[in-house]
Structure 1
Amino acid sequence: MQTSMARPVKLWVPGDWNALFGFGTNILVNLLVLTGLLQFVIKMPTDIIFGRILPATGLMMFLSTGYYAWLAYTYARRTGRDDVCALPSGISVPHMFVVTFVIMLPITIETGDPIMGWEAGLVWVFFQSFILMIGGFIAPFVRRVTPRAALLGALAGVSIAFIAMKPAFDMFLNPVIGMVCFGIILVSWFGGVRYPRGIPAGLIAIAFGMAVVWGAAMLGYEVAGINAAGLQSAFSNFGFSFPTPAIDHVRDGFKFLGIILVTAIPFGIYDLVEAMDNVESAEAAGDHYPTTRVLTADGVVSLIGCLMGNPFINAVYIGHPGWKAMGGRVGYSFATGIMVIVLCWFGVIAVVLALVPIVAISPILLYIGMLIGAQAFQSTPSSHAPAVVLALLPSIAAWALTMVNGALGAAGVQVTPELITAMAGNGVLYQGLHILGGGAILSGLILASIAVFIIERKLETAAIFSLVGAALTFFGFMHGESIGFNVTPLVALAYVILGGFLYLSGRLAIAGDEPAPTPDRMVDPIAQPAE
């Protein structure tokens, strides 16, 4: 219950240790992946990575985590509650891969200069930042009219496909470390077991993984790519680097504007929806944050990071309910920002990359994927469960498409019409993955919204969402690879026809007295007595 009296708020509670190690390791993994992409994919010079990009990234993330800690503090103080958890934030993981492989890599290959790829990435973030700031004013309306099952279901799809799947694979590639670390985490975070002296489960899992890896190294074995030689060479990047303005590089990147806008606009919309989903997820866990302020903050800190040399956008993360369930409140967010400053400004990332096995961290990400996937079902009416399942499918299709493309790329095989036909003959519907997975989070949201309103017998509202889906599809925001006109005409037409059918059904159909046979009202015909 809210109160007008401001009450003292503890800046640190014991649960913040759990959330710090959980969320901190999540951030650490993302920074390690980011560094690997820049080093091994873009072939960026190490002085640019450790002297320009990572310091700017650290500054942006410090501002973001500090702001959300302050927002949680003021919210807790205003309401008099002691269970308010700060929103988690950091580098947008999907965008990390998009800006690397869609913007920076092609331009680097075309020009032969990774610096130009970096400059193009800066301009991409520049435009994304303004899309976020402007979109923040329309996002609250979208939240009001969109069913929670659609928002959380689309979020669960991203969480399962792009957060949980790879860590799960990593764990089973190194099961002795991965499975045991997973058990250490689940026993504490799902099972409620407290370890001696309140030691955080995440710290125990990492310590166990390091003990196994370095114990094996001492016996002459290499596990999970960790070895003493790699650790020794990592110290060459150790040192202090303060972020410096990169406005001249942002200006130079505008020469690639035509390429950049093709992805900047649809992914800006993706950001809006993702942020709304994550704010909705926090509200389902009991913490209400204003969507406009969240999106505006993401846009502002992303813009600051861009002007200082960071080509990766900031976003509110999936996972607030997980960190809150661990006991995280205000302090974990600010402490994570301090940690990021140390990692990025002192060149510690390279050392950590050589010291900690990723497989010891992967179970934490799998836990978050499990929690967010479960929340989509637990925080919505049981009758909406089919809509949640429908919302998952586009993200699963997008994930499967990346797997197929990765396999074809590794084999050096070009995608041709003949290959697509051959794959279809073997059950791999490549074109179907492209269409369903295009704009996955928007596709999942629209499809699930239609399903929810059908379940609720609000057929005219379902028709409106179907027509919105038609418009988004026509312009390539859904079911397409890029924005344009008449991108996937048959799918757009299908949405129009579906909308017309739903509208007519809502206007003309005579509803019966019995409720619709949704899952929580299903009757087992076998169990019914014969008449």
Structure 2
Amino acid sequence: MSKVSGWFVRGDIDGFFGLFVDNLLQLMLIAVLCTKVCGMPGELVYGRIMPGAALSILFGNVFYTWQARRLAIRTGRTDVTALPYGINTLSLITFVFLIIAPIYFETKNPHLAWQAGLFACLVSAVLECIGAFIGDWLRRHTPRAALLSSLAGIAITFISMGFVFQIFAMPAVALVPALLVIMVYGSQIKLPFSVPGGFVAVLLGVALGWALRWLGYPFFQPLDDPYTFALHLPQTSFGDMLAFLSNGQGWKYFSVIFPMALFNVIGSLQNLESAEAAGDSYDTRSSLLVNGAGSIVAACLGNPFPTTIYIGHPGWKAMGARWGYSLLNGVVITLLCLIGGVTLVLRVVPLEAMIGILLWIGIIITAQAFREVPRKHGVAVALGLMPSLAAWALLLIETALRKAGTGLYDIAPKFGNDLYIYGIISLSQGFLITCMLLSAMMVFVVERQFMKAAIWTGAAAILAYFGIIHAYVLTPAGVQNHFGPGSANAEALAYLIAALLMVGLHFYSRGQEGERTGVVA
């Protein structure tokens, strides 16, 4: 057994930049959405929410650093990579637009809206902790292709494509650093003096941004917000957090909170499976419990946005990051939030200089989904990508219509057969779960295990019937969830018929067990 020593390696610098940028993006979203959309004053955002976010991130980063180092010591390996962790983007956006912002629009009281967010964060965290006790069972009974395909779908759409567009929108600053990241990590070449490639890419982007600005080409626009040094220590928010818990108002948002908690548990399971496929096997229960506990810390300290295990472990591992990058990220993010330094960083470093690292993470995750499953299961991964593509397409359509001053409620009937918009909406609802269901079903179809395929398809029928997947209501405010019995009857009936057909195939295929299973390219 080799001796594990030290806390940092050179690859941790690259890993730090990747995770730091990821967390910085979430903090930027919090600052912009809370002030511009939810009307929160700066003292609430920077004095209460940011310090709470910092401590919740540090809490998880410290645990996952310790967890990775313990695994390395136990196995004698020096290539163990800690699970990446930070603010949950999906929950952030969902809580803002479906809970916090509506309350602000109705009451014009940003403090009340903030309290509602704390309540949502707390309840979501408790549900995630409960989910930790069934996580192992889910992992044992879910095909790897089903877990990895959903991650690949998110990686190729919401991560990679968004950053690709941003890179080519400002190629003078962003393209060269991004291509350098691809060249260095794709070729696995060592730069002179073993300088981390991600670090060089960021420095190059900063140099390009400022050089072009000084030459009269201001592609890089530093933030205009002035920075004033101040120390913002975390404050407990028990009274504010429990206000909605006791008055009953918050429970009407349970239809939003519950599916988000479910998505977070499933997403964390997928990330744990992705880490195991990359060679690092972590305990499911403790990983999920700390994930939920981090969100409880967030709510108790004034941050209404849950934390989560991030997608991308294989990408950080491929960069050479081990466990030090996680600890370094937690410390730096905490210091920045406590002194209000997020705006300071963005006044100096072009965001476009850093996103090439995240693009590479998305590429690696997508590649892993196909590489780490049996070849004939590749078709299951491909099928599992489609709901994510639908969700991403819906996001693009809604964004374009909103910028044009209209919305789907008015425009959807006009699409006709030019764009099957109702199909896009249906497939996008509960897309993370639908990815798993379709992919798992396909794995067992390929293996001719039709009874197991029928069980997964039957589960899809039940979830569709109760509105967990496919169901929606189109309102002037946009696409909204529609939960309850009979919410997506057509899809539920279709899945039920398919499940019955698979049961029939199960009995029909008896006696053919020795034949070759499904052959897929």
Both proteins in one fold, TM over 0.5: yes
Question: Which amino acid counterpart does residue 233 of structure 2 have in structure 1?
Answer: F
Tell me the amino acid that sits aligned with residue 420 of structure 1.
Answer: A
1:252 corresponds to which letter in structure 2?
A
Is 1:83 paired with 2:79? yes
* Secondary structure of 1:35 counterpart: helix
Give 2:456's match in structure 1, choosing from 450, 465, 476. 465
Shift in Å, 1:115? 1.9
Q: Give, in angstroms, the shift of residue 130 of structure 1.
A: 0.7
Q: Does 1:290 align with 2:291?
A: no
d(CA) in 1 for partners of 2:487, 2:299:
31
Note if 1:305 corresponds to 2:301.
no
CA distance, structure 1, for counterparts of residue 95 and residue 508 of structure 2: 49
Q: Deviations over 1:39-71 (max 9, x none)?
A: 322232111111110000000000100000011
Which position in structure 2 is the counterpart of 1:474?
465
Q: 1:482 to 1:90 in 2, by over 3 A?
A: farther
1:356 aligns with 2:349: yes
State the Cα distance separating 1:368 from its structure 2 match.
0.9
- Residues in 2 aligned to 1:482 and 1:114: alpha-carbon distance in whole angstroms: 27
Instruction: Find the counterpart in structure 2 of residue 372 from structure 1.
Output: 365
| Map of 2:204 onto structure 1 | 208
Displacement of 1:492 in angstroms is 0.9
Q: Counterpart in 1 of 2:226?
A: 234
> Is 2:39 the counterpart of 1:38?
no
Give the aligned partner of residue 218 of structure 1. 214
Unaligned residue ranges in structure 2 (runs of 5+) = 472-480
Instruction: Give the conservation status (yes or no) of the 8 Å contact 1:213–1:226.
Output: no
For the residue of structure 1 that corresponds to 2:308, the secondary structure is strand
Deviates more, 1:455-464 or 1:100-109: 100-109
Judged with a 3 Å threshold, the aligned counterparts in structure 2 of structure 1 residues 482 and 201 are, in CA distance, closer, same or farther, namely: farther
* Deviation by residue 1:382-420 (Cα, 9 ceiling, x = unmatched): 10111101111111111111111122222222434x732
Among residues 400, 415, 432, which one is paired with 1:441 in the alignment?
432
> Match for residue 504 of structure 2?
504
SS at match of 2:408: coil
1:330 maps onto 2:323 in alignment:
yes
Q: For residue 102 of structure 1, report the CA deviation from its aligned partner.
A: 1.3
Question: Structure 1 residues 441, 362: closer, same or farther in 2, change over 3 A?
Answer: same
Contact 2:445–2:518 (CA under 8 A) maintained in structure 1: no
Per-residue deviation at 1:513?
Answer: 5.7
The aligned counterpart of 1:246 is 237
CA distance in 2, matches of 1:99, 1:356: 29
Matches of 1:508 and 1:478, distance apart in 2: 30
| Structure 1: tracts of 5 or more residues without a match | 521-531
Conserved? CA contact 2:268–2:308, under 8 Å: yes
Q: Deviations over 1:264-299 (max 9, x none)?
A: 111111111101100000000000001111111011
Identical amino acids, percent of aligned pairs: 34
Match of 1:519, SS? coil
User: What is the aligned partner in structure 1 of residue 332 from structure 2?
Assistant: 339
How far apart are 1:250 and its partner, in Å? 1.0
Evaluate the alpha carbon distance shift between residue 124 and residue 482 of structure 1 in structure 2; reply closer, same or farther with a 3 A threshold.
Answer: farther
Q: How far apart, CA to CA, are the structure 1 residues paired with 2:411 and 2:24?
A: 39
CA 308–85 in structure 1, closer or farther in 2 if over 3 Å, else same: same
> How far does the alpha carbon of each residue in 1:495-527 deviate from its partner, in whole angstroms, 9 at most, with x for none?
11111110111012353864245224xxxxxxx
> Whole-Å Cα distance in 2 between the matches of residues 425 and 115 of structure 1?
46
Supply the AA of the counterpart residue of 1:422: K
CA apart distance, 1:460 = 0.5
Change (3 A) 1:496 1:63: same
- Residue in structure 1 matched with residue 489 of structure 2 by the alignment: 489
Asked whether the equivalents of residues 451 and 502 of structure 2 are also in contact (C-alpha less than 8 Å), the reply is: yes
- Post-superposition offset of 1:422: 1.8
In the alignment, is the contact (CA less than 8 A) between 1:42 and 1:105 conserved in 2? yes
User: Are 2:61 and 1:65 aligned?
Assistant: yes
Structure 1 residue 226: deviation in Å?
2.6
Task: Work out whether 1:397 is the aligned partner of 2:390.
Answer: yes
- Contact 1:120/1:260 (<8 A) preserved: no
Contact 1:266 1:483 in 2 (8 A): no
Contact 1:71 1:86 in 2 (8 A): yes
Counterpart in the other structure of 1:515: 516
Contact 2:448-2:518 at 8 Å conserved across structures: no
User: Which shifted more, 511-520 or 347-356?
Assistant: 511-520
Q: Which residue is 1:52 aligned to? A: 48
Map of 1:116-135 to 2, 5 A cutoff?
Answer: 116-135=112-131
C-alpha RMSD of the superposition: 1.7
Instruction: Give per-residue Cα distances to partners, 1:212-238, cap 9 Å, x unaligned.
Output: 2222332344214337xx2xx4313x3
Q: Deviations over 1:4-53 (max 9, x none)?
A: xx954331222212211222222222222322222322232111111110
1:166 aligns to what?
A: 162
Contact 1:32 1:353 in 2 (8 A): no
Equivalent AA in structure 1 for residue 99 of structure 2 = I
Aligned to 2:476: none
CA–CA separation in structure 2 for the residues paired with 1:402 and 1:74 = 41
Please state how far the C-alpha of 1:132 moved relative to its aligned partner: 0.8
1:315 match: 308
Contact 1:150–1:391, Cα closer than 8 Å, also in 2: yes
